[in-house]
Structure 1
Amino acid sequence: MSDDAPRVAVFRPADERIDDAAALLESLGADPVADPMLAVEPTGAVPAAAPWVVLTSKTGVELAAEAGWAPGDATLAAIGPATAAAAREAGWAVDVVPDEYTSAGLVEALADRVDGERVEVARSDHGSDVLLEGLRAAGATVNETVLYHLTRPEAAGESAALAAAGDLDAAAFTSSLTVTHFLDAAEERGVRGGAIAGLADAVVGAIGPPTAETAAEHGIDVDVVPDDADFAALAEAVVEAATDGQGTTDAETTDDTSSSR
């Protein structure tokens, strides 16, 4: 790795995804700091039977499929392309993918179709209330099933210490929860203020507007939000900005609740 390679923190879940993310960053010419801020703990539950089923992450699809669940005759909605692709790989037909890959986007896509319907929402324990409240406001009877919990790994926080020391060039946040877990890890290490100050001198990327908004609420300025809401696009944009010393805030959509990515 070149001495000039930007040091980029990445926070994907503590499984093969963090390894894949680090490998991608390295292939882009970065020096990755793999600091998982999410761990997936399955509950063992599967989506309840309903005429409409909404899935909000690739992880949820995979856990449901591994448990032997299938949508049957239900109309299946997926929050974004990654979730839809995982569902199709499981052999399921996907009927609805919103134009905007957020909870609000799902509500907009389903609002005219679910009045009087029973809708099952299967997701993590950190799902947005926007989805449940929006569907209920549209006249649906909504049930939520928690397929998995998202926790913070005990060892998380190397990136916060590096940021506080001024030794981090960039950070790529893939969900609102990775932001809050980063700050919680920094707090535990006694470097929260320093870590936020360090990020001010680094390139900060967020996978979509909700993640960027969470960062801003906590005093973290976001420099990069890619047009395409997937990690590859985020990584490329962050490395380019860190290499050039310039950021961009051009953004449209996000599969933000698939943050367990």
Structure 2
Amino acid sequence: MTSEVRAAVFRPDDERIDDAAELLASLGATPVPDPMLAVDATGATPARGDWTVFTSKTGVELAAEAGWTPTETRVATIGPATADAARAEGWEVDLVPEEYSSAGLVDALPPAVGDDATVTVARSDHGSAVLLDGLREVGIETTETVLYRLVRPEGAGESTELAADGALEAALFTSSLTVEHFLEAAGERGVRPATVDGLGEAVVGCIGEPTAATAREHGIDVDVVPGEATFETLATTVVERAAPSHHEA
């Protein structure tokens, strides 16, 4: 049995893929970076609202680059990484839910915003309907501003061929869209069935149940969904699970 844990990771095609590869290497894995997302900014800024919700570090950075600042609005973020990005811009963060997800925001926002408040959700074009629908269902006036589109980078998909050849020990999906783009790339390369079969022999990890549900819907067996929805926790758990010492125990 090989001692190598080759771990494919599909983070956006920016510093996040580099940071992910560095983290995986520090955990003793051999990273296989294969970005499945690239950011196409719209140039929009968040619409006016009593509260502004950011669901990613990218959204914060793009809003700041476009000159937006949180004047006359309070800021909520989906998790600590997004909150850290907002604070790095000098913004005050008023709410981070205990559960780092759209569902967590739906639970946390209503008691915080109060009656008659308006909420703007500033995010990508592939945001979950859970957040908007959940807030509207409890009577909160909610609008959405699309700050960026998420597209698949040209040439993505080398890892699909490795999976098809049984040459991956692990794969880490961080959103439903990374799953979909991965499988689209496999299809374009003519290896989709073999890729899905190959992942059956690997340890597959997903951030959050929505990502895991998407993977399962497409026939991918999911082994790890960490309780804390952060990439560091995902990477640590998956590599630990994929390490030979785990299989030999």
Deviation at 1:243, TM superposition (A): 0.7
After superposition, residues 73-152 of structure 1 pair within 5 angstroms as: 73-112=72-111, 113-152=113-152
Residue 221 of structure 1: aligned partner: 221
For 1:199, the aligned partner's letter is L
The whole-number CA distance in structure 1 between the counterparts of 2:224 and 2:129 is 26
CA contact (8 A) 1:114 1:138 kept: no
| TM-superposition CA deviations, 1:140-168 (whole Å, max 9, x none) | 22211100000001211111111111111
The whole-number CA distance in structure 2 between the counterparts of 1:104 and 1:226 is 16
The whole-number CA distance in structure 2 between the counterparts of 1:183 and 1:172 is 14
Secondary structure at the residue paired with 2:243? helix
Identify which range, 203-212 or 190-199, moves more after superposition.
203-212
Q: CA RMSD, aligned part only?
A: 1.5
Deviation at 1:114, TM superposition (A): 4.5
After superposition, residues 32-111 of structure 1 pair within 5 angstroms as: 32-111=31-110
Identify which range, 3-12 or 31-40, moves more after superposition.
3-12
For 1:175, the aligned partner's letter is S
Residue 230 of structure 2: aligned partner: 230
The whole-number CA distance in structure 2 between the counterparts of 1:173 and 1:246 is 21
The whole-number CA distance in structure 2 between the counterparts of 1:154 and 1:114 is 45
In structure 2, do the counterparts of structure 1 residues 109 and 79 end up closer, same or farther at CA, with 3 Å as the change threshold?
same
Aligned residues: 245
Identify which range, 30-39 or 102-111, moves more after superposition.
102-111
Q: TM-score, length-normalised on structure 1?
A: 0.90
Residue 253 of structure 1: aligned partner: none
Residue 201 of structure 1: aligned partner: 201
The whole-number CA distance in structure 2 between the counterparts of 1:132 and 1:152 is 25
The whole-number CA distance in structure 2 between the counterparts of 1:60 and 1:114 is 25
The whole-number CA distance in structure 2 between the counterparts of 1:134 and 1:75 is 19
Secondary structure at the residue paired with 2:222? coil
For 1:6, the aligned partner's letter is V
| TM-superposition CA deviations, 1:27-50 (whole Å, max 9, x none) | 221111110000011111111121
| TM-superposition CA deviations, 1:201-232 (whole Å, max 9, x none) | 11111122221111111111111122322212
For 1:170, the aligned partner's letter is A
For 1:142, the aligned partner's letter is T
Secondary structure at the residue paired with 1:92? coil
Residue 165 of structure 2: aligned partner: 165
In structure 2, do the counterparts of structure 1 residues 245 and 190 end up closer, same or farther at CA, with 3 Å as the change threshold?
farther
In structure 2, do the counterparts of structure 1 residues 215 and 114 end up closer, same or farther at CA, with 3 Å as the change threshold?
farther
The whole-number CA distance in structure 2 between the counterparts of 1:6 and 1:137 is 45
Deviation at 1:246, TM superposition (A): 4.7
Deviation at 1:117, TM superposition (A): 2.0
Residue 239 of structure 1: aligned partner: 239
For 2:135, the aligned partner's letter is L
The whole-number CA distance in structure 1 between the counterparts of 2:221 and 2:6 is 18
Deviation at 1:245, TM superposition (A): 6.5
Deviation at 1:115, TM superposition (A): 3.6
